[in-house]
Structure 1
């Protein structure tokens, strides 16, 4: 948890969950999106959860570079230190797109992987993690939610957030890779597809915080990738050699205000 960010009580919808309600009750899309952290091109990077769990309790990871098997292996072998999953649930496209029918998963195969023969099968997992009893309270919150979607980061933002007229509280742009990195657009470019979509139409909410960084010397990330996020909040060390900075937007219309 970051002391410079607002503290949020663990939401009731998350506290009340049990294994059966996760697996069989109605999928709580709006609750998951509300005050969430959105991380496109996430891979299996645990840094947003490591640093932000406690400030936020819902994490939406999106990446079309990982198959079900690769994600399951990563969760089994690495997971999140001090946590175990209560349950893992498959989420259907219809449950994600309850607002309107956007072909979210179809966007994976249109013009992606220009430099690869891979065509991952789209999927979505919803996982609720609970802190192990042996871990102290200061290790992190008792629970957090992770929604992992194998799809395109731009299309997913539009389908989940824009279509529901909501925004994540924080968006993480951490060394997303483009060109030979496999991403069809540059998430860090302030005038490219993702940044344009996040700014939204006049009157639409937008994320208050940006988490930006990656592997490399600290001077690579001294300024935010999107210029409207120009209020520095905290410098963090990334797992491995690198750094992440958290920035606050200078715009007034934030998510969920």
Structure 2
């Protein structure tokens, strides 16, 4: 990962934003994908714009995009693109979606970018560097007790019965009166900036989480799966983002608790 990679990631985000903004709160076509999730003209236009840049400037690198699939490379590097993470928010006119851009080396995220093209907010994380928000360093906040933690997650619909029970077991031990629903990638940017303490989600795909890892790590936080292991290309999509890594054992312990009334589920 080089300074040129960082510069390219920023140009990718600029190109995606230019493609997205004309569609925001405007008329556009949308349809349901095979998994019933929505996709819009804006998603496709933004990913196409990013792919054109990558084909021209990094032709040996692989591309893994949400809308247009995988292009194999031969460099050991893959760019992972999610043109609009939070399409439901985008369609509702809520400016809390984001473009996600990651660079993987041998399957491990080494560079990540969240770009919110309406508010012009951009978080950038890279291995060995401090995470920045619009060019200025940001840092997570400490959380002395799990009971004080502000927990966020995108939607209860993304959990199964089992993962939902584990999530609610955790939620019961956090500052649940301040829990945040909705937000997709935006929550992870807010965690890196010290506004949220904990994000827990299930069922994410590589394009949903790859860019978030360097951003959270570079701000002093921690991302892992529900077993506490580091995230990489083969991870199963159950993710924890922690502002204060000292709370990891508390979080994992809380998620192993049995919710009253569900003692016989396991």
Establish whether TM, by shorter chain, passes 0.5.
Answer: no
Of the two structures, which has the highest relative contact order with CA contacts closer than 8 Å and spacing of 6 or more?
1
Looking at secondary structure, tell me which structure has more helix per residue: 2
Question: TM-score if structure 1 supplies the norm length?
Answer: 0.31
